[in-house]
Structure 1
């Protein structure tokens, strides 16, 4: 039904600067207007942009009649545009369809008027993505390619442009004069193209696009870079004509690069890392290489040595935060502002001065997470030793090669869900070429920004094509081993399935890569204008279940830590002391906390079992049910259908680091040793869960950002890591006020407390524990089961139901049933104790087990584990407080 409140708010004489009607197919327009019985409708167009709205209606231009269709949208259009169902539908007569392409290269609008007195009812401009997809379903090449004569061919999809010219520059220097050449338009595809000369190779270019822009109400002459750019000048001012197949751009041995072995997706362990964080403060890296791709090639550096140790322990993939061209980082090093680390280090641990010093220079210091794309298919220039041109291509490949050589595959964090800018903004690219097409628009034609930037519309064919083409380039030409999709839920499920199918089609024989081994995962959050399938089935957690495309599970994260990223700053969870180490915030009755931990324990168990919706569980309420039917806080406790759907994690770049979260949640009297044990317990839950574990770089070293929950632009100071494990960054000052000010009163005393500063010994203990948990995971295939059937066969949980020992989660991995998955161990028993105290449990079946402490736990790195015991005669185990203990039974 039409929302009458929306109609009543519309101005009586309309507005041509709003886009409240939708041209969804050449013959169909949908309009959010109250359909009066005697109303007449018209389509107006002007090829010179001269339409003008007066009280008498739209003036100038040309006019065509529209007929109201009483039956509304047909089933095909209703499926493609679910948010338009129920709105009035207008039809353009077949004899006018040949004019549609011409009209779209100008200004278009619709108006409604009363048939009896010709008075205006309403008028508006049109949203045109649907009709563009109807007219131009192009599947060919875009950007730069080369023919057999080594001539570059440049192609740009710009179907609404009146003209497109190529501006060619001999170099990227400011003031270099451009040579302008006309490009040829193909009316069948909407593509403008030009065949160049071999001498154009390595020269720079831009496009001059003459196009009507609804937001300005006139034609604009936009000088813009290529959205398919493969190389760029410094700060993305010019695109560059390059051939990615050139030997000059390939490191020695690139064509024969061998990938680290990977038998199946559940062997993956992900480690999330930022390129600049990795080396910017690493004194063992030459100064000129810090913060760059080439730092990964310094095999004797502290950082690379650290990664090598992690690879040996079990990390398989380094997940890099965005490394495509980023809009907001100054690429020219001399123009960056240097930070005075000595001054910052001299300030008190709870001072406001650190963030006050950094705030004015935050956009000039060279640091940003990078979730603000400008060009999707060019390596970011600020991470190159020379951002002007193709050096970035060579050095990116060197980084991939170096990581592969130390046993690590590489994942790219991709952000196709939004662009940094839209409209006529200087950093906008897509919207200055085909205005109003690539971005998702609201009911007024404004660009949606629920992702905090300009949301793209991957439901449109050419946006999906851009994603597919870009990803193929990264996979084939850069040998990237995985893709993590930022806010994946803002794409459609069909987009991700098309991506999966494209990657699966890549073979070693034809493309030099095994596309089936490329893992895809992302954030399946369900919010904004796409929530619950409003624009088509979106790639949310539930929608992606069963596809093998992973989604981050907030279930384990919130159960282990307590609360969530947007609520409950001090709310405790299973691993942070809720049961018997309550903080000031959690001073409620023990029985309430006892029950809540029992509820959270059910979530933990299901997460350990791969987050399977059909995994059977006896809940703490005594209900025999399935994970997907157990609702906690209004949502199913589990949603996956196969283990590689499941990304298990408790921390990431977003929100407080795990250690910072524990600092806030643990009671003030908790000693550092206990805080570290909470931290290690949470990481153990991730490391030993079925599915795919994901860790935030530095968590193994108690990484702190001084409680900054959103450090995307907080400089190297708040984001730095010491790979030597000597200096912890806790107490680096009060975190920046913009996202953290509301908690300053809470966190200030914590930062100022010297007892809460971890020592090198604390960090070393955490690091040893982390490596051990990874080694334990690697030691047995029972931790890496590759199907839901195997998990349901081999994984079970004693100590469940209403009579459980609350705070103790026990997991049995039994290889005595079905397919053998472990050559060494016939059974593994894992205990997670979320209590401050030692907990014990007896089970008659344990009397049949011949369990021994896992050999990796018997090396003495954690003396507390000497208190752990297994008594076969009584079928009982005992587990120290805030500990993870693993026992095994040898074959």
Structure 2
């Protein structure tokens, strides 16, 4: 990149306002007048304000006669007859800029048209733009772009350049730069070039959505973790292709891989990011690890999971094969998407094509950092919102994914999430959309944030329920805080709320959500300590008691109203050896431990049976809050004990009454059962069976220490 030497700077901050910054070493920062020059035309600038800064004088001037046209070359001349080029400043963050340059076409990026390859890029402030193509034989050639309407640049190459590498060269504020197209569908090894690929008509189709998100059981999984361990029995360890291996098992014959997922009974696998990310290279010899929350190119598959990362088509085929292989087992795929930030703002294609537009800035004009990773994507701006919506639809249509999980959704705005829901419903009505609705410190008005506080505005979008997590497990941010399952009594009122979808069961009770499908219930995820590691750190109890607590918490996740969410390996007490944030820890910390899966197969079978029980009766996954309020009663007459009664629910499944009992005390106690016909026990906290374990003929049962029960009749 060239560095331009300027005596002073001039910035266009609105279409009628130009700000000059004159350093004190330049005529003491003084000037009495400025003139705007375009070719032979000269326009007087009116000085509105003069503001002393630490090392310069700031002048705010206005253009009275006309509005400035972006993409044209202007200069500013001061009284000393010194010229400087007019740079694009804060004008790009004005409402007028957004409206004037919004482009609603669906052809940004690369398009094939009858033997012609068309490249389109949005950059209203560029004054020139060129395309650099590199042939498979390493020959490079450049083509000029033509400026079209709404800030779009177009380059038509009258040839089929499939397989060529390409970059974009924009000239902005007199500086030429080189970027990869942000809409690139494929990138070269280590993301150095965009790749021209002709995908034609895709065969990928999503599975039909379930009748309600509450029918789902979500299993969160990382591509590499799934198969990295040698004992996994999979050949393509750590790679996309491991998901296509059938019938894999441990050396002792316990199922692993996709067969294991099928047997477990989950309905959806949520894949941690599979788009191109930083933190690892594409080299097979690179042993570094990263979850994938450092997004580089949002529409291109990650290379480090590929057997041939240098082949863009192979990456695409392999990722599509992951999705198809899961679909073949009737497992739907939720894609974890990270539209809230980019890896490094200054190096991103967005920032280089339209500096300052795609990222939020605070009142001082500095980039905001609500994400904690250096930048916040400005989803509320029209072309930023368009990129997100376009990208979501691309994954839906090209790869056939079945839903999306939005990382740090609280950074995004309500309007963008609403637009995504509307556009997704045109393609796949009822597809699952869920997100992290944390209230983050980003400069959006509070009512515009797509967070938990505004859940009522986000119809059809589920949110991770931190009320549920903290009530059942304990605070994520206080290692020693204990929830109900960890033995904390006097939380029973809160437990009642979260077990029933967090909708507010009683008349007048304010819930977190309007409908149970808005509540994603969980006690652990890839973030923070696993439940097992938290308990090992904060509980001074023997392992058998800890296992009982872990099973109690997992049981409450599976049998609560809302959407149950399991972290991969949770069903066999997943541990990351005490590491709280393992995003870049070695693979031996992050990989699924299939030996542990063998060791705790009894717990795996227990969780599998609980999932079958949930699936077998619609009352355990009611679709509406009205049905929950009509049929569910919760009582908690003593600490550490919750009694959930489902009555008159035969229209929704095989039983007319269901009784759930959750007991977190370390002492056994007697518990009276409702009178009437005898009960059948489906689960006693150790074992579970959808067809029943045994009949209960007495009028009460002895609740074992730290236990749960499912009784039906």
TM-score (norm 1): 0.70
Per the alignment, residue 270 of structure 1 pairs with 218
Q: CA deviation at 1:307?
A: 4.1
Per the alignment, residue 429 of structure 2 pairs with 516
Per the alignment, residue 448 of structure 1 pairs with 368
Per the alignment, residue 289 of structure 2 pairs with 367
Task: Tell me how far apart the structure 1 counterparts of residues 556 and 522 of structure 2 sit (CA, whole Å).
Answer: 9
Q: Are residues 1:502 and 2:450 paired? A: no
Of 624, 627, 638, the match for 1:787: 624
Per the alignment, residue 776 of structure 1 pairs with 613
Instruction: Give matches, 1:843-854, under 5 Å.
Output: 846-848=674-676, 850-854=678-682
Task: Tell me how far apart the structure 2 counterparts of residues 433 and 66 of structure 1 sit (CA, whole Å).
Answer: 30
Task: Tell me how far apart the structure 2 counterparts of residues 281 and 421 of structure 1 sit (CA, whole Å).
Answer: 31
Instruction: Give matches, 1:545-624, under 5 Å.
Output: 545=456, 547-562=459-474, 564-566=475-477, 568-578=478-488, 597-598=489-490, 600-612=491-503, 614-616=504-506
Task: Tell me how far apart the structure 1 counterparts of residues 129 and 437 of structure 2 sit (CA, whole Å).
Answer: 38
Please give the per-residue CA displacement for 1:132-186, whole angstroms capped at 9, x wherever unaligned.
2132011113444434414221100011111110000013x8xx34201100001
* Corresponding residue SS for 1:559: helix
Label 1:658 to 1:870 Cα distance change in 2 as closer, same or farther (>3 A): farther
Is the contact made by 2:231 and 2:594 (CA closer than 8 Å) also made in structure 1?
A: no
Q: CA deviation at 1:601?
A: 1.7
Please give the per-residue CA displacement for 1:64-95, whole angstroms capped at 9, x wherever unaligned.
556989xxxxxxxxxxxxxxxxxxxx996774
Task: Tell me how far apart the structure 1 counterparts of residues 212 and 267 of structure 2 sit (CA, whole Å).
Answer: 11
Label 1:866 to 1:258 Cα distance change in 2 as closer, same or farther (>3 A): closer
The number of residue pairs the alignment matches comes to 671
Q: Are residues 1:393 and 2:223 paired? A: no
Please give the per-residue CA displacement for 1:313-371, whole angstroms capped at 9, x wherever unaligned.
4311000111101022110224x2xxxxxxxxxxxxxxxxxxxxxxxxxxxx2410010
Label 1:396 to 1:108 Cα distance change in 2 as closer, same or farther (>3 A): farther
Per the alignment, residue 635 of structure 2 pairs with 798
Q: CA deviation at 1:766?
A: 2.4
Label 1:465 to 1:392 Cα distance change in 2 as closer, same or farther (>3 A): same
Of 97, 117, 120, the match for 1:155: 120
Task: Tell me how far apart the structure 1 counterparts of residues 333 and 656 of structure 2 sit (CA, whole Å).
Answer: 33
* Corresponding residue SS for 1:140: coil
Per the alignment, residue 513 of structure 2 pairs with 640
Label 1:871 to 1:65 Cα distance change in 2 as closer, same or farther (>3 A): farther
Is the contact made by 1:45 and 1:106 (CA closer than 8 Å) also made in structure 2?
A: no
Q: Which is further off, 130-139 or 265-274? A: 130-139
Per the alignment, residue 232 of structure 1 pairs with 187
Q: CA deviation at 1:698?
A: 0.6
Q: Are residues 1:204 and 2:165 paired? A: yes
Instruction: Give matches, 1:479-494, under 5 Å.
Output: 479-494=400-415
Q: Are residues 1:182 and 2:182 paired? A: no
Is the contact made by 2:34 and 2:76 (CA closer than 8 Å) also made in structure 1?
A: no
Of 90, 97, 105, the match for 1:132: 97
Higher helix proportion: 1
Is the contact made by 1:293 and 1:395 (CA closer than 8 Å) also made in structure 2?
A: yes
Task: Tell me how far apart the structure 2 counterparts of residues 783 and 306 of structure 1 sit (CA, whole Å).
Answer: 28
Label 1:404 to 1:529 Cα distance change in 2 as closer, same or farther (>3 A): same
Is the contact made by 1:45 and 1:108 (CA closer than 8 Å) also made in structure 2?
A: no
Q: CA deviation at 1:283?
A: 4.4
Task: Tell me how far apart the structure 1 counterparts of residues 685 and 284 of structure 2 sit (CA, whole Å).
Answer: 50
Is the contact made by 1:805 and 1:841 (CA closer than 8 Å) also made in structure 2?
A: no
Instruction: Give matches, 1:414-433, under 5 Å.
Output: 414-423=337-346, 425=347, 428-433=348-353
Is the contact made by 1:657 and 1:705 (CA closer than 8 Å) also made in structure 2?
A: yes
Is the contact made by 1:815 and 1:822 (CA closer than 8 Å) also made in structure 2?
A: no
The runs of 5 or more residues in structure 1 that have no matched partner are 1-14, 30-41, 70-89, 111-122, 213-218, 337-364, 507-514, 579-596, 618-624, 629-637, 727-759
Per the alignment, residue 70 of structure 2 pairs with 101
Of 685, 709, 713, the match for 1:885: 709
Is the contact made by 2:226 and 2:257 (CA closer than 8 Å) also made in structure 1?
A: no
Per the alignment, residue 195 of structure 1 pairs with 156
* Corresponding residue SS for 2:219: strand
Of 651, 657, 668, the match for 1:827: 657
Q: Are residues 1:474 and 2:307 paired? A: no
Q: CA deviation at 1:774?
A: 1.1
Q: CA deviation at 1:831?
A: 0.3
Is the contact made by 1:559 and 1:573 (CA closer than 8 Å) also made in structure 2?
A: yes
Instruction: Give matches, 1:249-260, under 5 Å.
Output: 254=203, 259=207
* Corresponding residue SS for 1:721: coil
Is the contact made by 1:559 and 1:603 (CA closer than 8 Å) also made in structure 2?
A: yes
Of 381, 393, 400, the match for 1:460: 381
Q: CA deviation at 1:858?
A: 10
Per the alignment, residue 244 of structure 1 pairs with 199
* Corresponding residue SS for 1:271: strand
Task: Tell me how far apart the structure 1 counterparts of residues 449 and 646 of structure 2 sit (CA, whole Å).
Answer: 35
Please give the per-residue CA displacement for 1:166-225, whole angstroms capped at 9, x wherever unaligned.
000013x8xx34201100001x3101111123421121100111112xxxxxx3221110
* Corresponding residue SS for 2:644: strand
Q: Which is further off, 52-61 or 770-779? A: 52-61
* Corresponding residue SS for 2:486: coil
Q: CA deviation at 1:556?
A: 1.4
Task: Tell me how far apart the structure 1 counterparts of residues 472 and 654 of structure 2 sit (CA, whole Å).
Answer: 31
Task: Tell me how far apart the structure 2 counterparts of residues 486 and 851 of structure 1 sit (CA, whole Å).
Answer: 43
Label 1:866 to 1:196 Cα distance change in 2 as closer, same or farther (>3 A): closer
Is the contact made by 2:308 and 2:314 (CA closer than 8 Å) also made in structure 1?
A: yes
Is the contact made by 1:108 and 1:126 (CA closer than 8 Å) also made in structure 2?
A: no
Label 1:162 to 1:611 Cα distance change in 2 as closer, same or farther (>3 A): same
Task: Tell me how far apart the structure 1 counterparts of residues 89 and 206 of structure 2 sit (CA, whole Å).
Answer: 55
* Corresponding residue SS for 2:280: coil
* Corresponding residue SS for 1:466: helix
Q: CA deviation at 1:871?
A: 3.4
Task: Tell me how far apart the structure 2 counterparts of residues 58 and 100 of structure 1 sit (CA, whole Å).
Answer: 25
* Corresponding residue SS for 1:412: strand
Q: CA deviation at 1:849?
A: 5.1
Q: CA RMSD in A?
A: 3.2
Instruction: Give matches, 1:284-433, under 5 Å.
Output: 287=235, 289-302=236-249, 305-334=256-285, 336=286, 365-388=287-310, 389-423=312-346, 425=347, 428-433=348-353
Is the contact made by 1:273 and 1:697 (CA closer than 8 Å) also made in structure 2?
A: yes
Q: CA deviation at 1:723?
A: 2.4
Is the contact made by 1:142 and 1:157 (CA closer than 8 Å) also made in structure 2?
A: no
Q: CA deviation at 1:473?
A: 0.5
* Corresponding residue SS for 1:318: strand
